[in-house]
Amino acid sequence: MATSRQRRFSVAIVLVTLALCALFLAQGTTRVLAAELLTPDSAAAKPRAPRFTPTLPPFLGKHDPATILRRNIFDSARGDLTAEPLPEIPLGEDGQPVDDWDPNRPAPTCTGKLRLVGSVVSPVAPDWSFAAIAGASDGKTMLYREGSEVDGSRVLAVHSSSVVMSGSTGVCQLLMFEEEESAGPRAPIAQKPKAAKPGSDRNAGLSDQELTEGIEKISDTQFNIQRGLVDKVLANQGSLMKSARVIPHEENGRVVGVKLYGIRRNSLLGRLGVRNGDMLRTINGFDMTSPDTALEAYSRLRSADKLTLAIKRQNKETTIDYNIE
């Protein structure tokens, strides 16, 4: 049976719960009455339309074109361009610009030596748009706005990747990125005589004559090599790396050698007895599967008089010996 103390706690909990319910009901009733009695007329309740205030786009808010014009990094002697009045565009007798053109019809590409380096376009304030143009006479890059003179031509409009100009030949557009069709036909490349053909990447930059004079074949597994040829190959390591495709070969999850592909019979490696698909294991006992031992081998083999390649060809182990003279 419940004691008197437990009964008092139960009564207290019930009373507190009833008090909270009464409070919530009172608040809810008050809000409903306020909504019904204090609601203004529908006409007065309509909020006024916010006034439209033109603002700059976000990218112009962060990168104000006036800052670039003010600093004028291309012409420090001239200084602040915002302090100068806007260039006047000449008008004809009818009050229209003399150099008028139809913006819906793209103007032809300018053929002079002027070059458009870059441009900043302000869509809400075209007067603040400007272009960086390299002059035809000295090649110096300067900032120009609409109406400015550039080596006898006038800037009519500045766009994101082009500038409309007016010169002695009429209205044209200066492109930042030249179109392929405007480049014209390419001039034919003169064919070099075969006797003067330079060495290819597969020959490590060496000519056929240098390979013939520098390599003497004794047998399929023994060769004599001139020291001068070795020095030329090591001096042109970039071409040497392109002479074949080197792919590590794994067996049971472990690299056991590197396979050589893309080797032609008349290439440098082909003349040295290496065949397409050979797997190189060691050079003078240095393991080629480890970067550390490969670097050590490279530093020691530069002055070696003999080289021995241990390779695996068609599942058969073999060696190729080189005498460096």
**Model pTM score:** 0.39
One domain, residues 245 and 295: yes
Q: Which residues on neighbouring strands pair with residue 82, listed in sequence order?
A: none
Q: Check if the beta carbon of residue 154 is closer than 8 Å to that of residue 164.
A: no
3-state SS class at 236:
coil
Q: Is the pLDDT of residue 224 over 90?
A: yes
Is 95 or 320 the better-scoring residue by pLDDT?
320
**pLDDT computed for residue 194 by the predictor:** 47
- In this structure, the number of other CB atoms found within 10 A of the CB of residue 63 comes to 12
One domain, residues 217 and 144: no
The one-letter code for the residue type at 12 is A
**DSSP of 117-128, one letter per residue?**
EEEE--SS-GGG
Task: Say which range, 48-52, 61-65, 107-111, 200-204, has the weakest mean pLDDT.
Answer: 48-52
Domain end: 179, 212, 246, which one? Answer: 179
Instruction: Kindly calculate the radius of gyration of the chain based on its CA atoms and give it in whole angstroms.
Output: 42
Q: Check if the beta carbon of residue 173 is closer than 8 Å to that of residue 108.
A: yes
What range defines the domain where residue 89 resides?
58-179
CATH number, domain with residue 156: 2.30.30.830
One domain, residues 172 and 228: no
CATH number, domain with residue 320: 2.30.42.10
One domain, residues 235 and 290: yes
**pLDDT computed for residue 54 by the predictor:** 44
| Domain count of the fold of the chain | 2
Contacts of 96 (CB under 8 A, 6+ apart): none
Q: Check if the beta carbon of residue 307 is closer than 8 Å to that of residue 227.
A: no
Decide: residue 281, CB within 10 A, 0-12 exposed, 13-18 middle, 19+ buried.
buried
Q: Is the pLDDT of residue 219 over 60?
A: yes
Q: Is the pLDDT of residue 19 over 80?
A: no
